[in-house]
Amino acid sequence: MEKETSLQPTDLPPSLEKALQEAFTKGALISEPDAARVIGISTTTLRREAVSGKIENTRRGTRRAYTIEALRDYLAPIEPLKSDPQRETANVSRRRSASAAAENHQASRRLDALAAKLRVKKRQAYARRVDDEGKGR
């Protein structure tokens, strides 16, 4: 009997649901790097969450694989206890920090890419300068 997930596809933001659907077009399981990319965290964090039991996974040999239901359950909004306002604040703060971390990670990758392009341009300029000096120009 297949496990029912408590989270409906409409409970997630449409862009995230679309990314999940696209990731699972090839099959019922996706690899750890693909799952991490879809939900916007590092593979190390995803592995840590899987080991701690916060996200279900399946082992394929020595590798981990994830189902769409496991990712949806992990991404489900956390319902705070009604009697504890501090907990509600902590949940909101945690979701914001996860979103900010994903944005910071993307910005960092863009900066790394720009820095790499700049290094290539500098190497090319140096090579042209050395080549011009070698030809006596």
Q: Does 109 lie in the same domain as 68?
A: no
Picking from 30, 56, 75, the residue at the C-terminal end of a domain is 75
Flag whether pLDDT at 49 surpasses 60.
yes
Distance in angstroms between the alpha carbons of the first and the last residue of the chain: 78
Q: Does 68 lie in the same domain as 14?
A: yes
Q: Does 69 lie in the same domain as 113?
A: no
Handedness of CA 88, 93, 94, 98 (dihedral sign): positive
Picking from 75, 94, 129, the residue at the C-terminal end of a domain is 75
Rounded to 5°, angle at Cα 61 from 55 and 63:
45
Q: Does 15 lie in the same domain as 71?
A: yes
Total structural domains within the chain: 2
Q: Does the pTM exceed 0.85?
A: no
Q: Does 71 lie in the same domain as 19?
A: yes
Backbone φ and ψ for 110, nearest 5 degrees, come out as -65, -45
Residues 105-116 have pLDDT tens digits of 787 888 888 888
pLDDT of the residue at 25 = 86
**CATH code at position 37:** 1.10.1660
Residues 22-34 have pLDDT tens digits of 888 888 899 999 9
What is the pLDDT confidence band of residue 66, given thresholds at 50, 70 and 90? very high
3-state secondary structure the chain: CCCCCCCCHHHCCHHHHHHHHHHCCCCCEEEHHHHHHHHCCCHHHHHHHHHHCCCCCEEECCEEEEEHHHHHHHHCCCCCCCCCHHHHHHHHHHHHHHHHHHHHHHHHHHHHHHHHHHHHHHHHHHHHHHHHHHCCC
Alpha carbons 58 and 55: distance in angstroms, whole number: 10
Q: Does 90 lie in the same domain as 71?
A: no
Residue-number span of the structural domain to which 43 is assigned: 9-75
